[in-house]
Amino acid sequence: MSDFISNKAELQKAIRQYSYRENHAEPFTLASGKKSPYYFDLKQTLLQPQYLALAGSVVAAMIRECYASDVVAAGLTMGADPIIYAACLAHVADKTGKLLPAIVRKEAKDHGTGKKIEMLKGVAQDMPCVMVDDVITTAGSTMKALAAMREAGFTVRHAFCILDRGEGGREALAAQGVELVPVFAASEFREK
């Protein structure tokens, strides 16, 4: 079994154990405001270093499948931060080009340089950029980060996430010309 397949299987097992809840009697309210009997609190998995490393390795491998050159990995802070950093570290370990982090704030800083995007100084805007997030439901957070990166001059064609809930995010991104590439679909976890 390849490292990618075994890492993905181990990550799925950890998400099922630590992050997945199902309650049809009392649905959960999601960040999007929607109600759902299926809830994924991926931070419960990704706050554990061994599973964060697995997630980073899997996401980095998926990005490498789409991009042979250097690429910027961007996402809205907080959900995207650990995955972006872990993927960048996995990319460095594989010595397969650069995966450079870009963290997008919801609002520009009101102090210092007033930046909305934190990234390495001097990164060329002609470098391809991918969006990264933990869970995509409606893609609201990813769309905010996407708008900021495009406003900064970057071209974005792909968004990578650990979990696609299958509730409109893929379609919202497609309407912006961005293909969603999830590690898992929510349907892979549902018990009922």
- Rounded distance, CA 103 to CA 132, Å? 10
Tokens encoding 157:
């064609």
Q: What is the pLDDT of residue 43?
A: 94
Q: What percent of the chain has pLDDT over 90?
A: 76
**pTM: predicted TM-score of the whole model, two decimal places:** 0.93
CB 133 within 8 A of CB 79: yes
| 186 neighbors 164 (Cβ within 8 angstroms) | yes
Spans of all domains in the chain: 3-188
The pLDDT mean for the chain works out to 91
Do 125 and 96 contact (CB within 8 A), yes or no? Answer: no
Residue 112 binned pLDDT confidence (cut-offs 50, 70, 90): low
At 25-59, the pLDDT tens digits run: 999 998 778 889 999 999 999 999 999 999 999 99
Fold designation for 3-188: Rossmann fold (3.40.50)
